Chain A
Amino acid sequence: MKKTFTLSMTFLHTWGGLVMGWLLFGVLLTGSIAVFQDEINLWAVPEIRTGLNPDRATTLQLGVDHLNAQAPDARMWRIDLPRDRDPQLIVAWTTPQGKTTSHTLDPVSGGVIERKTQAGAFYLAYHYMLGIDRNENLAGFMIVGLSGIFMIAACVSGIVIHKRIFKDLFLFRPNASGQRAWLDMHNVLGVLPLPFHLMMAYTGIVILYWIYIPAAVQTLYAGDSVPFRAEAIALEYRGLKAPAGEPAAMLPLPQLMRAAETSMGADKTAYIYVRDPNRGNAVFDAYRDRDDRVTQQVEQVALDGVTGAVLRIRDDSAISRVQSYIAALHFVEWGGAAVRWAYGLAGMASTGMVAAGLVVFTEKRRRKAGGDAAWLTWVDKINVAAVAGISVACVALLWAERLTPVFPERAQIPVLAFYWTWAAMALHAALRPPRKAWGEQFVLAGLLCLGAPLLGGQGWRHLAALDGVRMGMDATLIGTGLLCLAGVWILHRRARAGPCQPEAAEVEDAVEALRCLSPPAC
């Protein structure tokens, strides 16, 4: 395209990075936050009791009793047993008309927890679907997929154009001139975790590969994804097409669970499906926990609900297992807190890389233009909205969670708060000069973070109860808030200090820049 391959890649990386970066920042930020969706869920619903360690058979029976009281004639039951960072008991049922309802129960008392929330789940929904339910419209889902593909292209083009990739491997000069320091940061956050970026972009698409590219379903299954999913993800026992059988007594579910666990491992059942409960053709399907293996598709045992006979033990092909491993690299539902933190921090490095790149774009051109070209100011305003704006919205969601009272349709309100806050921040960015808007929005984000633990007096309650997970969330919020405020203060001070003396390294960079053949492309 340009005179050399490097210049073409510079164009792709710079302009593609700008446009896609506006989208990718939000995707990566919400993805990194969503690593902790279970913890966020716990934080948002104070009624869930932690540290109970109830007997699993008793808890399962509580769930069954509740389901028998609510929906003995349902076509399908689902029971999610309490697990390490998900200590609630969740039961759900699907009526013969196809409507699914779910209740969250206390695992010891069996009482229904009225507060419904989408807190953690929304970050995930935004991350891979931009908040648009893919069962209704694939647009958000596909756009995020495209941004993932671009991310791979951006990584490759970045490697091509980063001439001193090995020399500058550990280089960060915070005191260099604005653009140089930001470029150093972009390079460090880009290159050191490069395998992580490439892996995450690819694995994200591998998870739901057949929805992104339905070609194989078209050619091999005549476009019908139901038999494909039945074979690929073992949803065989979820089909509701066969009619329900005659009423019959099922074996007690705790007994069936114990039988299933002889092959899955004791206490390893994570969730259970029962098709056509209390009928002659009832099928009990136990799914194994994901905590100790790097795999997304889990072991699964299906038993006849009435006789207890083993109907099927899931056995994946080697290729399926590879896909499952690849998907698990992206989901990281395995391992303990250390794994999750390493994963979340690595995700924040990706997020920071995109933000730094967006800032480099405007800083570099502002230096060259020598003034404020109007279009550059607008690019900067969009940067503010895309980076600072969505950051504020992410915290605003948590505030809305705390402030919304309990009533049946409350779950949507914090989601709406997210979008309205983002819109307000975008408006603010449009009206204010970018330099001021950056600082103002990140100060707001910082203050919201600091304030969130105090809302409703919950922070004190967490301390009093020594609730580890919730205190961890509060501490993270406070730490993030302080980081935001510190960052704004540091950058504000640097801006006030004025342009600094170029150092030797900057001179050598300038010389290198002069060798550039086509200035606008660099």
Chain B
Amino acid sequence: MLVAASLLMTYLACGQLALAYARHHRAAFGRPPSKARARRMRIAGGVLLVVSPIPWIIESGFGVGFTTWLWYALPCVAVALVALLAFAPRAAARLALVPVPRP
């Protein structure tokens, strides 16, 4: 379903953005990200964020799709990510498809 695709992409985006932070990267992988990796993750997260409402817009039209994604779905997904990050940072990272950094 297109709505599910939007939600998943939003999660991936937030995951990339969150794990670019040293604190959360350390919690998931044991060490902070290099500057280059952090920048890659932020860019990936930003792009994903911009693209994620598109499936919903295709499903429900721009008015309903974008409005719902922006105002209601995005905050919910972000809060859900925080919960996951707090209790199971590695799982949160894996779900966000963030690859384990090379040693």
- The answer on direct contact between A and B (beta carbons under 8 Å) is yes
A contact set with B: CB distance below 8 Å:
167, 169-174, 188-189, 192-193, 195-196, 199, 292-294, 329, 332, 334-336, 338-339, 342-343, 345-346, 349
Residue contact A339 to B23, C-beta cutoff 8 Å: no
Q: Are B71 and A192 in contact (CB under 8 A)?
A: no
In the bound complex, do residue A172 and residue B82 qualify as a contact, i.e. CB atoms below 8 Å apart?
Answer: yes
Q: Which one of B61, B78, B82 has the greatest number of beta carbons of chain A within 10 Å?
A: B82
Collect the chain B residues with CB atoms within 8 Å of residue A170's CB: 14, 17-18, 21, 24, 78, 81-82, 85
A346, B64: Cβ atoms under 8 Å? Answer: no
Interface code B66-96, partner A: CB below 8 Å = 1, 0 otherwise?
A: 0110111101101101110111000000000
Given A192-B79, A349-B75, CB of A172 within 8 Å of CB of B68: no
A90 shortest CB reach to chain B, Å: 26
Residues of A within 8 A of B99 (CB): none
CA distance A52 to B86 in the complex (A): 46
Known A-B contacts: A196-B75, A199-B71, A343-B68. Give 12 more (CB < 8 A): A170-B82, A171-B82, A189-B79, A192-B79, A193-B75, A193-B79, A196-B72, A292-B61, A293-B63, A334-B64, A339-B64, A346-B75
A191 CB, nearest partner CB in chain B, Å: 9
Residues from 40 to 80 in B contacting A, C-beta threshold 8 Å: 60-61, 63-64, 67-68, 70-73, 75-76, 78-79
Closest to A335 in B: B64
CB-defined contacts of B3 to chain A, threshold 8 Å:
338
B interface, over-half SS: helix
Q: Which residue of B lies closest to A332 (CB)?
A: B72
The residue of chain B having its C-beta at the shortest distance from the C-beta of A181 within the complex is B86
Is A345's CB under 8 angstroms from B64's CB? no
A85 to chain B, nearest CB (A): 16
State the CA gap A248–B78 with chains docked (Å): 61
- Judge whether B72 and A342 touch: CB under 8 Å: yes
Picked from B60, B61, B71, B85, the residue with its CB within 8 Å of the CB of A196 is B71
Q: Which residues on A sit within 8 Å (CB–CB) of B60? A: 292, 335-336, 339
- Please determine whether A335 and B76 come into contact, CB atoms closer than 8 angstroms: no
Contact B81 A335 (CB under 8 A): no
Q: Are B76 and A345 in contact, CB atoms less than 8 angstroms apart?
A: yes
Across the interface, name the chain B residue whose C-beta is closest to A347: B72
Question: Which residues does chain B contribute within 8 Å of A342, judged by CB atoms?
Answer: 68, 72-73, 76
Q: Which residues of B contact A188 (CB under 8 A)?
A: 79, 82
Q: How far is the CA of A193 from the CA of B87 in the complex (A)?
A: 20
Contact between chains at B21 and A329 (CB < 8 Å)? no
From residue A118, how far is it (CB to closest CB) to chain B in Å?
26
Residue of B nearest to A348 (CB): B76
A338 and B71 contact, CB distance less than 8 A: no
Cross-interface CB contact of B85 among A167, A172, A189, A345, cutoff 8 Å: A172
Mind listing 7 A-B residue pairs with CB under 8 Å? A170-B17, A172-B83, A192-B78, A294-B64, A338-B3, A339-B72, A342-B72
B86 touches A174 (CB 8 A): yes
Minimum distance in angstroms from A273 CB to a CB of chain B:
26
Cβ contacts under 8 Å, A346 to chain B: 71-72, 75-76
Chain A residue at smallest Cβ distance from B64: A335
Q: Are B75 and A329 in contact (CB under 8 A)?
A: no
Closest residue of chain A to B59 (Cβ to Cβ) is A338
Considering the complex, give the chain B residue whose CB is closest to the CB of A349.
B79
| A339, B68: Cα distance in complex, Å | 6
When the two chains form their complex, are residues A329 and B85 in contact, meaning their CB atoms are under 8 A apart? no
Docked pose: A193 CA to B60 CA in angstroms: 23
Task: Select the residue from A193, A338, A345 with max chain B CB neighbours within 10 A.
Answer: A338
Contacts of B81 in A (CB 8 A): 170
Question: A residues within 8 A CB of B79?
Answer: 188-189, 192-193, 349
Residue of B nearest to A194 (CB): B75
Docked complex: B1-43 residues within 8 A CB-CB of A: 3, 14, 17-18, 21, 23-24
Kindly provide the distance from the CB of B13 to the nearest chain A CB, expressed in whole angstroms: 12
CB of A99, distance to nearest CB on chain B (Å): 39
Measured CA separation A172–B60 after assembly (Å) = 34
Nearest-neighbour CB distance to chain B for A418, whole angstroms, equals 27
Could you say which of B63, B67, B79, B87 has the most chain A C-beta atoms within 10 Å of its C-beta?
A: B79
- Select from chain A the residue with minimum beta-carbon distance to B62: A294
CB distance from B70 to the nearest CB of A (A): 8
Residues of B within 8 A of A196 (CB): 71-72, 75
For the complex, give the distance between the alpha carbons of A293 and B61 in Å: 9
Contact A192 B75 (CB under 8 A): yes
CA distance A342 to B65 in the complex (A): 12
Q: Looking at the assembled complex, report how far the CB atom of B41 sits from the nearest CB atom of chain A, in whole angstroms.
A: 13
A334 CA to B67 CA, complexed, in Å: 11
Q: How close is A339's CB to chain B, nearest CB, in angstroms? A: 5
Q: From A171, A192, A329, name the one whose CB has the most chain B CB atoms within 10 angstroms.
A: A192
Output the least CB separation between A366 and chain B (Å).
24
Minimum CB–CB distance from A310 to chain B (whole Å) comes to: 27
CB-CB nearest in chain A for B92: A170
Bound Cα distance A193, B86 (Å): 18
- Which residues of chain B are within 8 angstroms of A339 by Cβ–Cβ distance? 60, 64, 68, 72
Q: Are B86 and A172 in contact (CB under 8 A)?
A: yes
Smallest CB gap from A505: residue in B: B23
Chain B residues whose CB sits within 8 angstroms of the CB of A167 once the complex forms: 21
Contact A338 B68 (CB under 8 A): yes
- Smallest CB-CB separation from A350: which chain B residue? B75
